[in-house]
Structure 1
Amino acid sequence: MRIEDMRTELIKYKHVWDSMEKKMYVKCLKKTSVFFLKVHKCGSSTVQNILMRFGRHHQLYFVLPEINNYVGNPSHFSPELIGQNVRLPDGEKYDIFAHHTRYSHKEVRSIMKKEAPFVAIMREPTALQVSMYSYYQMEHFYGVSLPKFLQLNLTYLEQAPRFWERVGRNQIAWDLGVTDAEMKMPYIFEKLANKVENEFDLVMITEFMEASLVLFADLMCWPLEEVRFIRLNALREVDNSNFKKPVLTEEEMSMLKKLNNLDIQLYSHFKERFKRRILDYGAERMISEVNQLIDMNSQLYNNCNLKVLEHGEGISSVIRYEAEINAPLICKEIVLNEQDFTDIIRTEQEEHIKDRGPSEIELGNSISTSKMGTQKECMEALKRDLLAYDAASLILGICICGYDEDVFVVQGIWNTFLTKNL
């Protein structure tokens, strides 16, 4: 069946949705797709873990690289950067994008499902820079400590190479796709702020993580249980090590602010917008739900009986946790570092793509073919594959099967779909 024929069917059976909408009284449907811009050292690994848990449990498709955990950066994202073995057939869209990249709206939008919200996160830029310098041990790259680095000439600092060609000044703007040359252009802040406002549905603020996740859960129509977390990749403070965060003088802090002026303007702007969004949400409601989430996190930590590991792993000394061997799945997933969790999801997605049945692109043809049998057989085919459909695909299937012959069968299928997706 051609797209034009499907559209004709939908128009013909428009009363399907109208009548269901009146009968079901559903506030909103749980969203299962989202683009999350994972900005460096903004607490983004904590949010990413939430998304990876959710996507894994619902067998959703992730945008993933062939190896490691970057899908672009320093290059801007393009679909060609998606790993060959985890790539969906042409025309199919992805559910979740939660790995490091360099933002390009046109390219990201081209591979995400139409209903996917766009979400970013920002952190106070001087705290971000201090944390980043320590986390990546950048004193080895630049040959000096952060305080001594900030005592150098501003012109030199603005031309200093980026660590791994991707980490450095104005990191938020860089991850949003702004080039070093563009950072010096007149009106770049106004242009970038307007772009983010128009293209992103939510900008989370690291310093208000619980409130950010309450707003995110509301945006996604998820219960708060879905956004429970423990903080990942937080630096471990060790007195006699390179991982102790430096204390900067007023002059050094002033230089750090000049060097990251664009990020500071962005953060200030979106922090104010965030506060207004909380007021729109309702201050009392927000306080209540933040407290609920804090209690849920504490209960999760205690129930999982997590152990803090003595030594950090990876590029620097960060706090790591360990779950018991017989702990529930969420306890094991919530302590996974990004690379290990990514490897698990990548392997599962490779296997799923090899073993899966027809794609959503083929849905219209398969349902149209099934209609050659009885309407009952068509409806049974829909019921078998409920988890494979989003709401639009399900409505389309019901329309093509033929709604008018048995309203109670249709309402039963719809109620089952809502139960599985709310």
Structure 2
Amino acid sequence: YYIILYYIILYYIILYYIILSITITIRTPEMKKPPHSDDNNDKYRVKSQADNTVMCQPKKHIVFLKTHKTASSTILNILYRYGESHNLTFALPLNMHSQLFYPAFFAAHFVEGVRTRSVKEFHVLCNHMRFSSQEVRKVMPKDAFYFSILRNPVAMMESLFVYYKAIPAFRAVKSLEEFLIQGGRSYNASVPNNHYARNILTFDFGLDNTAPENDTELDRRSAEVIAAMERDFPLILISEYFDESLVLLKHALCWSLDDVSSFRLNSRSERSRRPLSAEIADRVKEWNSLDWRLYQHFNATFWKRIDSTLGRTKLQQEVELLRAKRRNLEQMCLQEGGAVDPAQVQDSSLKPFQYGAAVIQGYNLRLELNNDTRQLCQRLITPELQYTSALYTKQFPQLAAAPFSPPKKKTGIDRWN
């Protein structure tokens, strides 16, 4: 009797565990395997505001619309150095020009290697041009990242007047104040090179820079300009917040702080700058009403982007790190620890081009640098024209060596600004 009872109990115990096992199997979902990790992605990590690690790859297809008198030459140097160190190919101007035939609308055949099809892939387009989305997309890959930079039109026009004093609109007056008080009487939009005198930011973006006739037209036209810019450019930097802009650019491109560390280039000495009164500043805003509207808009969206991505605290931390890196580079590279007037630049090959009444400063390198450090430092201080020429020679050695007759220029402005 006890033996039979024992086997009955054992039977029910086994049956219980079988049923329990089946129930657990049914209720427990299958664990998904983690996705395969790409070793290339693991190298680049960016932390969000919530400290969640986000993977990204550095962008190498880039379009930078280089605007005038906005610290864009420093951005150009950053792109040149990154591209050169990563063996990227630049969409350089035809025939060793420094610009893409500005102020004409950009056309694909302005780029060296397009007509001959000698270049299979362009990575970076960043020289002065008047933007044309349709033509740029003929040259650059579909995944290219587009960005540009703006400056407050008040400070920008003061700089433009000094640098482009020779243009017809400005040469008839003694000062910017006189030009504005006269209501721009010497300005004629149809005269070549006068585009520098009014709404030049709008002009550079390939849009109509003629002055609106009334507030209603200003509202409509400025909305159209802003919409066109937002459609083509996911990132607009602000010159007045240059270091903050570099941090934002670093995150947008998935680069490092070292990649965006830089010295100021094509910058005027303080003695060639003139402060403007509040009255004249208001006149500048009214004269450049389209540029003022788009600057106000993108200055606001700049900070909204920071607040929604990095946050102000994280931004300030990275700005301080960037400035510390710049100070270290200055101590390592520069004799005087900063910029000097052109007459004091010892190496003539590193003298920045001088135009108009502006005094464009340059740099002197320390003499005791080893070869590697000297190369690094020299790239940081090489002016735009010399660097563009060096990259052209590197990309197109046969063309650079061959004698050719560049087209005669009507004015130094179009070739060298």
**What TM-score range do you get, normalising by the shorter chain?**
0.7 to 0.9
Match of 2:405 in 1: none
Per-residue CA deviation, residues 319-350 of structure 1 (Å, 9 max, x unaligned), is 21122454521210111111011000010010
Q: Distance in 2 between matches of 1:113 and 1:58?
A: 17
Aligned pairs for 1:212-231 within 5 A: 212-231=245-264
The amino acid across from 1:167 in the alignment is: Y
Q: Distance in 1 between matches of 2:304 and 2:293?
A: 17
The amino acid across from 1:215 in the alignment is: L
Preserved CA contact (<8 Å) 1:71 1:81: yes
Match of 2:388 in 1: 342
- Assess, with a 3 A threshold, how the Cα gap between structure 1 residues 46 and 289 changes in structure 2: closer, same or farther: same
Preserved CA contact (<8 Å) 1:147 1:246: no
Preserved CA contact (<8 Å) 1:189 1:262: yes
Greater percentage in helix: 1
- Assess, with a 3 A threshold, how the Cα gap between structure 1 residues 133 and 24 changes in structure 2: closer, same or farther: closer
The reply on whether 1:76 has 2:100 as its aligned counterpart is no
Q: Secondary structure of 1:271's match?
A: helix
Preserved CA contact (<8 Å) 1:138 1:163: no
The reply on whether 1:309 has 2:340 as its aligned counterpart is yes
Match of 1:57 in 2: 85
Match of 1:319 in 2: 361
Preserved CA contact (<8 Å) 1:158 1:259: no
The reply on whether 1:153 has 2:174 as its aligned counterpart is no
Give the superposition deviation at 1:309. Answer: 3.5
Q: Secondary structure of 1:345's match?
A: helix
Aligned pairs for 1:112-261 within 5 A: 112-138=140-166, 141-144=170-173, 145-154=175-184, 156=185, 159-160=188-189, 164=193, 166-181=195-210, 187-238=220-271, 244-261=272-289
Give the superposition deviation at 1:279. Answer: 0.7
Q: Distance in 2 between matches of 1:258 and 1:111?
A: 37
Give the superposition deviation at 1:120. Answer: 0.8
Match of 2:326 in 1: 297
Q: Secondary structure of 2:196's match?
A: coil
Q: Distance in 1 between matches of 2:259 and 2:398?
A: 23
Per-residue CA deviation, residues 206-249 of structure 1 (Å, 9 max, x unaligned), is 011111111111111111100001111121133xxxxx333444
Q: Distance in 2 between matches of 1:143 and 1:289?
A: 46
Preserved CA contact (<8 Å) 1:105 1:199: yes
Preserved CA contact (<8 Å) 1:162 1:168: no
Q: Secondary structure of 2:223's match?
A: helix
Question: What percent identity do the matched residue pairs reach?
Answer: 28
Q: Distance in 2 between matches of 1:109 and 1:97?
A: 11
Mark the structure with the bigger radius of gyration: 2
Q: Distance in 2 between matches of 1:214 and 1:71?
A: 28
TM-score of the superposition, structure 1-length normalised?
A: 0.72
Match of 1:374 in 2: none
Q: Distance in 2 between matches of 1:349 and 1:22?
A: 31
Q: Distance in 2 between matches of 1:329 and 1:234?
A: 22
Q: Distance in 2 between matches of 1:99 and 1:23?
A: 30
TM-score of the superposition, structure 2-length normalised?
A: 0.72
- Assess, with a 3 A threshold, how the Cα gap between structure 1 residues 194 and 24 changes in structure 2: closer, same or farther: closer
More relative contact order, 1 or 2 (CA 8 Å, 6+ apart): 1
Shifted more, 209-218 versus 106-115: the winner is 106-115
The amino acid across from 1:265 in the alignment is: R
Match of 2:295 in 1: 267
Q: Distance in 1 between matches of 2:191 and 2:180?
A: 15
Unaligned regions of 5+ residues in structure 1, if any?
A: 1-17, 239-243, 355-422
- Structural RMSD (CA): 2.7
Match of 1:331 in 2: 377
Per-residue CA deviation, residues 284-323 of structure 1 (Å, 9 max, x unaligned), is 1111111100100111111113444343652131121122
Q: Distance in 2 between matches of 1:224 and 1:108?
A: 28
Q: Distance in 1 between matches of 2:361 and 2:325?
A: 21
Preserved CA contact (<8 Å) 2:269 2:360: yes
Q: Distance in 2 between matches of 1:303 and 1:189?
A: 46
Q: Distance in 1 between matches of 2:328 and 2:311?
A: 26
Give the superposition deviation at 1:115. Answer: 1.9
Give the superposition deviation at 1:123. Answer: 0.5
Q: Distance in 2 between matches of 1:119 and 1:173?
A: 15
Unaligned regions of 5+ residues in structure 2, if any?
A: 1-34, 45-54, 344-352, 401-417
The amino acid across from 2:91 in the alignment is: V
Give the superposition deviation at 1:353. Answer: 9.6
Match of 1:410 in 2: none
Q: Secondary structure of 1:328's match?
A: helix
Q: Distance in 1 between matches of 2:103 and 2:274?
A: 27
